[in-house]
Chains A and B, each alone.
Chain A
Amino acid sequence: MSDQLTQLREMREKALAGGGAERMAEQRRRGKLTARERLALLLDEASFQEIGALATHNNPDFGMSAHRVPGDGVVAGFGKVNGRRVAVFAHDFTVLGGSLSVVQSQKICRVHDLAIESGIPIIGLNDSGGARIQEGVRSLAAYGEMFTRNVLASGVIPQISVVLGPCAGGAVYSPALTDFVIMSRDTSYMFITGPEVIKAITGQQVSAAELGGPVVHNTRSGVAHVLAESEPRAIELVKVLLSYLPQNNTEDPPQVVPHDPADRMDERLNAIVPDVESEPYDMHEVIDAVFDGDSFLEVHPYFARNAIVGFARLDGHSVGIVANQPTHLAGALDIDSSDKIARFVSICDAFNVPVVTFVDTPGYLPGVDQEHYGIIRHGAKVIYAFCQATVPKITIVTRKAMGGAYVAMCSKQMRSDLAFAWPSAQIAVMGAEGAVRILRRRELAAAADPSALEREFVDEYQERFMNPYMAADTGQIDEVIEPRETRPRLVRALEVLRTKVQQNPPKKHGIIPM
């Protein structure tokens, strides 16, 4: 028995050693942590239960028999994050560059299957050179197995990907299919075809960072949702993100002891909207003043900045926030912001997180490019996501709510449960100038001084229509409130709506305008 135990202990030691001390040192020299160090940071102390630690490949081709390392380049298993169960896997770059083999895929899929069946979140720490070429098409099939799990788990359990190293080729699709992608600055990149291939085919010269670095994916492509300054920060952000999410689609997110009074009214809100209509204000200040102090976690903070989405807590309860940002493009909805909002609302709906929407938008962004690249199709996603969502939805119109964008931004007809408006709200089909030029076209054409008459008509239109009272009169707004009352009103409303149950017609699945 002692010999058998010795053998087991030796094999375990070998698995723990990964690619060896030299490669681990090389990993650290690049400013990266090893797979097990990352897991130690992520999981509660002594909570990790590894599976498949001794599994390794059986590929004899290309001299691979000499490179058989227990674990085969991935550390997978279960653990706890702040006392909550999670499934995890971490690529071990020190073993054959973390390249994906059949055995590696089997381990990841096994953990994924168990996560789906147990109803617990899955977190992937990605640092892999891509498919293991020595295994040929089998490694591609292995990716397919993983993608299937990603799709089946979508909307059932939270899936979070942390990209901490290379992620290229087919490997990018697994993180892309998950709910959140966090990228660490300096060490991570994601692309389908690398700089060399692009140079060979198109002649374009581009570096890996310019092509698929964390800044690109957090600002331009929108592939990544959060940018972390370092690996430990990326891992900490996973914990924070999980704190807003339930274990699965049938449960509620954790509720923390409230530390901010529910009836707190911030007087600054009453003066936050400038008197001058064209002057912007920062919607972040509104969010900070309304929700529990220091509880806002912004998702996609650098992508499509004309919209704000993120999680916060209200009286200790997790809520999703969607808002227009007047400081960027005046808060107009464009293609990217539509995608950003639609995706976030969809995630909130899947995981029972109520949605609070702050509206200040002059409409969809006009432009030839926007029309040609499909603002109609992308804009429709916002409508689809809000209409489909059955979680509690509350809307607050802070200033402009114009035309189709007003309707799309969770208006009463989008099955919003409650719609509030501040006295500064301007709910109308279009801006006063535009409306006057259409409605008073003939009078203006015949006038001796058209500009003076236009000014007169604009003033008249603004007085009659550019306020929240006509919308309140027709029932499109439930209540016009003082801005400082927003927090207590929301707390009370969500208290009532917490047990809301709304059902959509039975269907296999809807067809979102993709």
Chain B
Amino acid sequence: MIAVWVGLELTIYGMALVFGLLAVLWGVISLLVRLDARVARQSGGASRAVTARVAGDPGALDPALLAAIVIACRAHRMTRRKQAAPEMRIHEPGSLPSRWVGSGRTRQNRSWAPGGRYA
């Protein structure tokens, strides 16, 4: 009977400890979330202010400069397209199985035939 009471007592202490620690952890996490939200609000507000200033203020960027940037971006994109640069390709280089390697390996495993290096 005593053993049962001791066991029960240990269970209560253990559970209390675990739930106590969980409660502390919950409190810490809640605090961190609140602090983080406050920091995000502050920094978001600042970036929005910058965006609004650039978009709203015609003098923030010279229209000629803006036009030049747009033209340069387009020209760069056209050059990359003409050269089939990686970012313009449907498949990343090397992402498709190479027939060169596939058919070459097959030929390697054929019986030896007379001929030179390129036979």
| Chain A interface (Cβ < 8 Å from any Cβ of B) | 81-84, 116, 119, 152, 239-240, 242-244, 247-248, 250-251, 254-257, 259, 294-295, 297, 316
Contact = CB atoms under 8 A, between A and B. Distances in A.
Given A84-B93, A116-B118, A250-B100, A256 B81 contact: yes
Interface in B86-119: 86, 88-91, 93, 98-101, 103-104, 118
A240 B91 contact: no
Given A152-B118, A250-B100, A251-B100, A240 B82 contact: yes
B18 interface: no
A248 B104 CA distance: 12
Enumerate the 7 nearest inter-chain pairs by beta-carbon distance, A residue then B residue, closest first: A243-B84, A119-B100, A250-B99, A83-B86, A254-B84, A255-B90, A83-B93
B89 A251 contact: no
Nearest to A81: B83
A257 B98 CA distance: 20
26 contacts: A83-B86, A83-B93, A84-B93, A119-B101, A242-B83, A242-B84, A243-B82, A243-B84, A244-B84, A247-B98, A247-B100, A250-B98, A250-B103, A251-B100, A254-B89, A254-B93, A255-B89, A255-B91, A256-B81, A256-B84, A256-B89, A256-B90, A259-B81, A294-B78, A295-B82, A316-B90
Interface string B43-69: 000000000000000000000000000
B79 to A, nearest CB: 8
Nearest to A157: B100
Contacts of A259: 81
B99 A257 contact: no
B85 interface: yes
B118 A240 contact: no
A455 B6 CA distance: 125
B84 A294 contact: no
A177 B91 CA distance: 32
B90 A257 contact: yes
A257 B84 CA distance: 9
Given A119-B101, A251-B100, 10 more contacts: A81-B83, A82-B86, A119-B100, A243-B82, A250-B99, A251-B99, A254-B84, A256-B84, A256-B90, A257-B88
Contacts of B78: 294
Interface of B: 78, 81-86, 88-91, 93, 98-101, 103-104, 118
Nearest to A240: B82
Contacts of A297: 82
B100 A243 contact: no
Contacts of A240: 82-83
Contacts of B89: 254-257
A251 B118 CA distance: 19
Nearest to B91: A255
Nearest to B78: A294
A123 to B, nearest CB: 14
B84 A82 contact: yes
A262 B47 CA distance: 41
Q: Could you say which of A119, A242, A256, A297 has the most chain B C-beta atoms within 10 Å of its C-beta?
A: A256
A116 B89 CA distance: 25
A239 B118 contact: no
A490 B33 CA distance: 59
Contacts of A244: 84
B85 A83 contact: yes
Contacts of B88: 256-257
Contacts of B103: 250
A287 to B, nearest CB: 16
Contacts of A256: 81, 84, 88-90
A240 B86 CA distance: 13
Contacts of B104: 119
Nearest to B87: A257
B105 to A, nearest CB: 12
A294 B77 CA distance: 12
Nearest to B118: A152
A248 B100 contact: yes
Contacts of B100: 119, 247-248, 250-251
Contacts of A254: 84, 89, 91, 93
A116 B84 CA distance: 23
B82 A294 contact: yes
A61 B77 CA distance: 54
Contacts of B85: 82-83
Contacts of A247: 98, 100
Contact of B83 (A243, A255, A257, A294): A243
Nearest to B103: A250
B83 A82 contact: yes
A255 B96 CA distance: 12
B83 A239 contact: yes
A294 B78 CA distance: 9
Contacts of B118: 116, 152
A109 B108 CA distance: 23
A346 to B, nearest CB: 20
A244 B83 CA distance: 8
